[in-house]
Amino acid sequence: MRRPYESMRGHFQQAAAQRGFTISASQQTAVERLSVLAGELAGGGGFFRRPAPPRNVYVWGPVGRGKSWLVDTFFEGLDTPHKRRLHFHDFFRQLHDGVSHAGQEPDRGPHRHSAVERAVDELLGNCRVLVFDEFHAHDAGDAMLVARLFHTLLERRIALVTTSNYPPSGLMPDPLYHHLFEPTIALIEARMDVLDVRGAKDFRQLRHMDASASRFAQGAALRAVDATALQRLGLAEPRPEEATAVPGHQRELPVRAVRGDLVWLGFGALCEGTTSVADCLALAERFGTVVLDGVPPLASCTADGRQRFANLVDVCCDRDVRLFLIGDDPLAGLPQSSALMRDLDRTASRLAMLQGAGAAVR
């Protein structure tokens, strides 16, 4: 165990040095636990030759505290091909599809696996280490599927490492539905080591993190449709005859224009319609640039509209898709202490990466 442990610790130190920052005190606890996990996984001469798998790891903290960097660095340093790293949005879409497909298969008798178990089998195969980035549970309609997923994963000999902006007790924050998720919270707390990486430093604000090198950060936020500003960014407002539809996830999505690698969308149709995270993922898979106009202050939107906007920002950032937003400041009118703002802190951090965020582009 000692050699893989020391190797992983050295890997973390080298990765931090290459990025030009020092691992913070709060991150160091996670580095230590993940390094121990690397040793536990390799114990006995190979992955999971031990009688039982080690405890799983749940890393949580506010946006910008390096959670994704921690688990990505851990993932890169693991010396095994039997590992998967997935953004929770991506995995959950695939799980939905897999459950739907599995549920259509013929009855296999009293010993058949559930649709969730069969879908997990199909998605993960011989995976022994699974890294989930940005796990969350907001949608009450998905609560039972998320719960069954966690039960299935934790019952198997799969090491699970996940990040979240929320402590386990903060999952499914809506008080009307929180009780539905309490058994899953109890399971997470019992079966996973919960690591708090809260700290004063927001690493996303440091220039040496190279955020400007990403395509997402090459996008911009414009506070009005200004032909001159659009032209400087290589954009032009769509003509009415350009309106069309593009394939989403099992549906057609109305768009204002498609120009090669670029899709131009309206906020009302995308965010206040019936679109899902899977639709955003379908757009990100096809297009390298997304333009969303008619963006209002999120305080004036429905809860579903705010969530769909946050989903689009999340997917574009994670898939490194260039994003242009046109309209009002989406965060205007949200007091920093409000529950809405706390739920959108990840979105706010990501919007801050865009050019002109918080001010008109001049």
3-state secondary structure of 222: strand
| Alpha helix ranges (H) inside 213-302 | 227-232, 267-271, 277-286
User: How far is it, in rounded angstroms, from Cα 361 to Cα 355?
Assistant: 8
pTM of the model: 0.72
Q: What is the model's pLDDT at position 51?
A: 54
For the chain, 362 residues long, give each residue's pLDDT as a single digit of tens. 568 899 999 999 999 998 887 888 889 999 999 999 999 988 744 454 545 678 899 999 887 788 989 999 999 999 889 999 988 877 877 887 777 766 555 544 443 457 788 888 888 888 889 998 888 877 777 777 888 888 888 888 789 999 998 899 988 887 888 888 899 999 999 999 999 998 656 555 554 445 456 889 899 999 877 788 888 888 999 999 999 999 998 889 999 999 999 999 999 999 999 888 889 989 999 999 999 999 999 989 998 899 899 989 988 988 889 999 999 999 887 766 555 555 677 788 888 888 775 443 33
**Contact 30/197 with Cβ under 8 angstroms?**
yes
Amino acid sitting at position 265: L
Torsion region of 250: left, alpha or beta (phi above 0 gives left; psi -120 to 50 gives alpha): left
3-state secondary structure of 14: helix
* Residue among 221, 137, 195, 210 nearest 171 (CA): 137
- Here the contacts of 239-244 (C-beta below 8 Å, separation 24 or greater) are none
* Residue among 135, 129, 167 nearest 150 (CA): 135
- The neighbour count for residue 285, using CB atoms within 10 Å, is 12
**Contact 194/162 with Cβ under 8 angstroms?**
no
- Here the contacts of 341-347 (C-beta below 8 Å, separation 24 or greater) are 343/138, 343/173, 344/298, 344/306, 344/310, 345/62, 345/63, 345/165, 346/63, 346/134, 346/165, 346/310, 346/314, 347/309, 347/310, 347/313, 347/314
Q: What is the model's pLDDT at position 105?
A: 57
Q: Which two tokens stand for residue 272?
A: 């206040």
Q: Which two tokens stand for residue 14?
A: 């080298």
User: How far is it, in rounded angstroms, from Cα 35 to Cα 6?
Assistant: 7
Widest CA span in the chain: 67
User: How far is it, in rounded angstroms, from Cα 219 to Cα 334?
Assistant: 23
Q: What is the model's pLDDT at position 360?
A: 39
